[in-house]
Amino acid sequence: MEYELFLFSFLRTFLISSGLILLFVFLTEKFSLFLGKKQAHHTHTGRISRLGGVAIIISFVLGIIFDSNLVITLPMKGVIISSIVILIFGVLDDFLGLSWKKQLFFQICASILIFIFDVHIEYITNPFGGIIEIGSGDFSIASLLLGIIWMVVIMNSMNWFDGVDGVSGGITLLGSIAIIFVSLKPEVNQPPMAIMASVLAGSIMGFLIFNFSPSKIIAGTSGSIFMGFILAVMAIFSGAKIATTLLVMSLPLADFGWVIWKRIRLGKSIFSSDRRHLHHRFLELGWSQKKIALFFYVVTGIVVIISFNIRSFGKIVVIFSVFLLTLIMMLFFDAGILKNRNEIIKK
């Protein structure tokens, strides 16, 4: 295996991504351009460009198109076109503010496009052994519906979790590294998938060095939605390695589930914005954005490393454990057991 292929793919997109971000940061600081629309649940202050996602998507698409070691197959064309759809609606949301219905519509469109371009969930691994087939033939309603649900849930989980500097980019970087290793396993043997993940890693790293706290640029809706989208797609590409993406996304998914449950209990729309997310709770606890990001990196990194050494059922146990840990933390926050030390001293 010529590992230089993956390194060159990484470096190419890293240079494109970081170059675009330097341009956007300069234009924002010099001329106050690309600031986007500030919303109540955002944690960022000051003049920060929201075009990080634009740089990520453009560098990723260019990296795929101009990589001589990748064949632009029909599914790859679907990824490129869907990425452009996400870029357009994400920028519209960042600068104009789209309703949740319009956002969901575009997300479903991107998911259907992927299906049309022959990216299907044909089977999933049974944690108790064997596989579970999802429909049959080129068109399956079950595969389409499962694909839409999978894509929309992962996209929104990442988008909702993208609340502090460095979190979404760091998790996606860890996810791309995990997919590289999974794709190069002898039993999987998908070098093109590893190259694609290397392209993604370069795009994310070029962004992350400017996004880590204190950030000069943020991903915006286009960036966070794209990061969830591409992880979900690569899970389908990688021999239906859904479990790997579930492990990488275990914290965002646990946060996603908790927030939806709380909103339903309070009689609110599940798509309404609030400050009930895990990162908001840690901010209330007095943690810095950098500390929160590092904590999430460590948890995700440990989960990913463990996943390389266990079988399917063990992965389900790990995912359940992360969900349980998140639930306990959230219950402690709600009960007031976890509080800011300064508030305790004042009392």
Q: What does the pLDDT look like over 272-309, one tens digit per residue? A: 877 788 898 889 888 999 999 999 999 999 988 887 77
pLDDT value of residue 140: 80
Under 8 Å CB-to-CB from 106, ≥6 apart: which residues?
Answer: 85, 86, 89, 98
Q: Which residues of 7-35 are buried (b: 16+ CB within 10 A; e: fewer)?
A: ebbbebbbebbbebbeebbeebeeeeebe
Is the pLDDT reported for residue 238 higher than 80? no
Q: What is the DSSP string of 30-78?
A: HH--S-----TT----SS-BS-HHHHHHHHHHHHHHT-TTS---HHHHH
pLDDT value of residue 80: 96
Q: What is the mean pLDDT of residues 190-215?
A: 93
Task: Please tell me the number of Cα atoms within 13 Å of 4 on its side-chain side.
Answer: 1
pLDDT value of residue 340: 59
Is the pLDDT reported for residue 137 higher than 60? no
Is the pLDDT reported for residue 43 higher than 70? no
Q: What is the DSSP string of 193-223?
A: HHHHHHHHHHHHHHHHHHHSSSPSB--HHHH
More confident residue, 39 or 203: 203
d(CA 267, CA 18) in angstroms, rounded, equals 43
Q: What is the pLDDT of residues 50-91, one digit of tens each?
A: 899 999 999 999 999 999 889 899 999 999 999 999 999 999
Of 217, 119, 200, 109, nearest in space to 162 by CA:
217
The proportion of the chain whose per-residue pLDDT surpasses 90, expressed as a percent, equals 49
Confidence of residue 347 (pLDDT cuts 50, 70, 90): very low
φ, ψ for residue 292 (rounded to 5)?
-65, -45
Confidence of residue 310 (pLDDT cuts 50, 70, 90): confident
For residue 232, the one-letter residue type is A
Is the pLDDT reported for residue 46 higher than 80? no
Hey, CA dihedral for 299, 305, 307, 310, is it positive or negative?
negative
Q: What is the mean pLDDT of residues 224-246?
A: 85
Is the pLDDT reported for residue 136 higher than 60? no
> What range defines the domain where residue 21 resides?
4-346
Confidence of residue 250 (pLDDT cuts 50, 70, 90): very high
Burial class for 68, CB neighbours closer than 10 Å (0-12, 13-18, 19+): exposed
Residues 167, 173, 178: CA angle, nearest 5 degrees: 125
- From the DSSP assignment, how many helices (H) and strands (E) are in the chain? 14, 2
Is the pLDDT reported for residue 240 higher than 60? no
Q: What pTM value is reported for the model?
A: 0.89
Mean pLDDT of the chain, nearest integer: 86
d(CA 296, CA 275) in angstroms, rounded, equals 18
pLDDT value of residue 225: 97
Confidence of residue 214 (pLDDT cuts 50, 70, 90): confident
Q: What is the pLDDT of residues 1-19, one digit of tens each?
A: 567 888 999 999 999 999 9
pLDDT value of residue 335: 73
Number of domains in the chain: 1
d(CA 320, CA 266) in angstroms, rounded, equals 25
Of 96, 43, 113, 78, nearest in space to 222 by CA:
96
Is the pLDDT reported for residue 32 higher than 80? no
